[in-house]
Amino acid sequence: MPGPQQRGQRRPLSVRGSRPAARLGGNSKVRIAVGRFLLIGALVIAGVKLVQVQGIQAGELAQQAEKQRITNQNIPAERGSILDRNGNQLAFSIEVRALYILPQRARKAWDEARAKDPEQYPVSYDDHAREVAKFISGTLGPEVNGWKTDEETIYRRLVKDISYEVLVSEAEPAKAAKIVEKYPAEIGSEYRSKRIYPNGELAANIIGAANWRQDEKPPTTQGILGLESAQDNLLAGRMGRRVVDTMSGDDSVVIPNTERELVKPQPGKSLELTIDIDTQYAVQKIVSDYTAKTRAKNGSAVVLDARTGEIVAMANDKTYDPANFGAASEDQLRNGAVASNFEPGSVHKIVTAAAAVEYGLFKPDDVLQVPGSIKVADRVIRDAWSHGTVPMTFTGVFAKSSNVGTLMAAQEVGQERFAEMLDKFGLGKRTQSGVPAEEAGVVPPLNQWSGSTFGNLPIGQGLSMTLLQMTGMYQAIANDGVRVPPRLVRAEIGEQGSRTEKQRPEGVRVVSPETAKTVREMFRSVTQSDPRDANQNGTGRPAAVPGYQIAGKTGTAQQIDQTCKCYSQSEYWTTFAGILPADNPRYVIGVMLDAPENAQSASPVFHDIATFLTQRFKVPMSAEQTPFVQLQL
């Protein structure tokens, strides 16, 4: 029986394992070949696509890119406030929101979505717009700051066949957020700022006006008038930056809810003024009422702190609503207290009085033999009342406002010393007070004086000044002979309430303290009233305030008649400047009336303002009443 068939010899493991290795090597070559083929294919496809994109579809894709692009935009900063000296707000900004829609884009998006999923979008765009309009009107109410926001009006805006439509310009941020949250795909919200003037017309001639300027690049709140304009850079702050998606090639049309903030804006600084809001209100009302009563063309008043020169109040009879400044006339917009030059008249005689005392030429009780007229070059100057030669004390010359007596004293002073005194009083140049639109006034230089010039200047004609300059002259006498340039801005307030006090201007020594005190005492007699002898009465008796010594001066200056280019016989500027109280000066008040009927005095305006100040600031009464002095022998 044959035995089992003998098997062949077993192969070594190394040999058996080599066959799979050979198969693996064969697959790798195939894979590399396939990979190369696919890579070449991909490059060919990419190349074809590139040709298609850059060539065939270039126009279409460019149009699509134009419809939505990334745009960098500036973010307006929060505008600083304007405050009075006690922190009361005179101007501040609030955030509001403009709600808008891109109607054509919204309709197209709705129609496309409805075509894809009619169950989720069962109604037409117009019906959807009705629903949106109802919600917006219900949230905002029927009107927002003059914008109609009733349901029908909103609906008509939603369905307009245009690319961009504002629904409301000044919505409350919280209400705007509620609407955008409800309809984020359709409604966009855009930041805007609204300037608020809580006191309306009060101090508008100083504060000015600012409003949101949508036409600016970028849109922002911009100062237009007054301090709002002059201090615009400080109040405006520094803009931030953001990235948005914009539509239709118009960088101003932002696709709703695509804003990404990059750099936060830096808020503007606030301004603390020297103005006291209560005093400003009282002075503005007093001036307005008296200007209307006397039928003057214009009226202004200024109140200065006697020691610091700070402007406590500055008011004109005409003013305007800063929130509606476009409706104001040019006369309403002007700050007459600094922008109107006028001839001061006899209130200017304080220059002669100060110079004569300073140079030791006259003492208060010195007697001058004052004739009824005096000739200066080719001019004859008379007093306001007819008289022969009258013995007047040097004090009486100013209390009775004698032109002739004043010119007699001025001639003793001399032209050069008089011109030097005008310069020390700061006339003919701006005060640098910080009040916008300030005029410099006009003082003819000494080398241009004619023979008759020195017959005009000492009595307040032939030169012009602003009311602020005129009041500043009396501040120098109130402040022991040192004129401190007036100022309006007291401090700058930064973030977190950091306060930087503005440096006070350097004072200018005009006359010695002794001279200033003597002049104050002399000018107390302007308000003197003697029931026994009218010759001892001053010209400014209505300015007197019971219980307080008042030093001041009246003024009446002829205006220029434009028909003859000569001095008018019917129209005058009437002025008054005075110190309260004369024995311990706290405040200086200047008043100007432009052509009041019958040249009515400005003294009553001073009286009313001074009376208010004594009550508002609890000014102590004078230690003693003003003594009676002899004005005329």
Round to whole Å and give the CA distance between 567 and 557: 9
Q: Would you call 540 helix, strand, or coil by DSSP?
A: coil
DSSP letters of 493-521? E-GGG-EEEPPPPPPEE-S-HHHHHHHHH
Of the candidates 351, 552, 328, 355, which has an alpha carbon nearest to the alpha carbon of residue 463? 351
Output the six-digit token pair for 246. 């914009």
Active-site residue identified among 81, 169, 189, 346: 346
Residue whose structure tokens are 């241009």:
448
Closest Cα partner for 338 from 473, 467, 227? Answer: 467
CA 84 to CA 232: how far, in whole Å? 18
DSSP string, 432-500: --S-TT----B---GGG--TTGGGTGGGT-S-BB-HHHHHHHHHHHHTTTEEPPPBSEEEEE-GGG-EE
Q: 């006899």: which residue's tokens?
A: 346
CA-based Rg of the chain, rounded to a whole angstrom?
41
* Residue reference for tokens 């509606």: 324
Question: Rounded to 5 degrees, what angle do the CA atoms 417, 464, 231 make?
Answer: 110
Backbone angles phi and psi of 535, in degrees to 5: -65, -15
Going by C-alpha positions, the residue among 442, 439, 430, 441 that lies closest to residue 486 is: 430
Alpha-helix residue ranges (DSSP H) falling in 52-182: 58-67, 103-116, 125-140, 151-158, 173-182
Cα–Cα distance measured from residue 337 to residue 438, given in angstroms and rounded to the nearest whole number: 8
Three-class SS state of 617: coil
Are 151 and 137 spatial neighbours (Cβ–Cβ below 8 Å)?
A: yes
CB 295 within 8 A of CB 467: no
Query: Within 10 Å of residue 249's Cβ, how many Cβ atoms?
Result: 12
The structure tokens 């195939």 sit at 30
Separation of alpha carbons 452 and 469, rounded Å: 24
In the DSSP assignment, the letter for residue 539 is: T
Record the tokens describing residue 463, joined without a space.
Answer: 């030169």
Residues in the chain: 633
Judge whether 373 counts as a catalytic residue.
no
The residues that are catalytic are 346
